[in-house]
Structure 1
Amino acid sequence: MSAYAVARLYEVKMGPEIVEYLRKIDATLAPFDGHFLIHGDPVERLEGAWSGDLIMIAFPDKDHARKWYESPAYREILPLRTGNSKGDVILIEGVSRDHKAPDILG
């Protein structure tokens, strides 16, 4: 099942370290077949409050996503982001194409 690394980042200090992070992250994704689905485009807020930038990276499965996040290559550049932004990051599995909302009821 596909899995996703999802981040909501805010208070991003755009500077040399973030630029370096952005230039290096794609190379860390490639060995784990990861690619960006969403990368901080301005949102159209329909309900509630929203702040920050949304980033979503797709992987073949949760194992690939976890191995990417824990990889030495990503761990090397991670402080470039965490030292220059605040945010929340999660890994989450997707659902099948035929998933229906009541399926979560068991």
Structure 2
Amino acid sequence: MPKGYWIARIDVADLDQYKQYVAANAKPLAAFGGRFLVRAGAFEAPEGSNRSRNVVIEFPSYQAAQDCYRSQAYQAAIQIRQPVSSSDLVIVEGYDGPQPE
């Protein structure tokens, strides 16, 4: 079963309030097996638009990624984040097929 991923790009207007969101999202992410692969850090955007923060979270399955987002605990965390940030988020299924040689 392929893993699931959240890919998010975020601009934060109030870092202190955003830290409250980070604290609030820890429990639901852990409950659904979420693991940060990318959490801000240096980046280059050679094509397209960008935001100031990039995040990639891996889940054990696509279903777990969807369930975490829809969970009551994560929806409560969103209410903390939305007034102080702008974001783009996609939930995607991982790929387990052949790779280029």
Q: TM-score, normalised by structure 1?
A: 0.82
| 2:23 alignment counterpart | 23
Q: CA RMSD in A?
A: 1.9
- State how many pairs are aligned: 99
In 2: Cα distance, 1:9 partner to 1:95 partner? 24
| 2:85 alignment counterpart | 85
Please say if 1:72 is aligned against 2:85: no
In 1: Cα distance, 2:59 partner to 2:19 partner? 23
- Structure 2, unmatched stretches of 5+, are none
| 2:38 alignment counterpart | 38
In 2: Cα distance, 1:6 partner to 1:40 partner? 12
CA deviation profile, 1:17-76 (whole Å, cap 9, x unmatched): 21111122121111111111101112034x224431111110011110011001011111
Using the aligned pairs only, state the percent identity: 26
Larger radius of gyration between Structure 1 and Structure 2: 1
In 1: Cα distance, 2:15 partner to 2:54 partner? 19
Aligned partner of residue 54 in structure 1, secondary structure: strand
Please say if 1:2 is aligned against 2:3: yes
Relative to structure 1, the CA distance from residue 84 to residue 70 in structure 2 (aligned partners, 3 Å threshold; closer, same or farther) is same
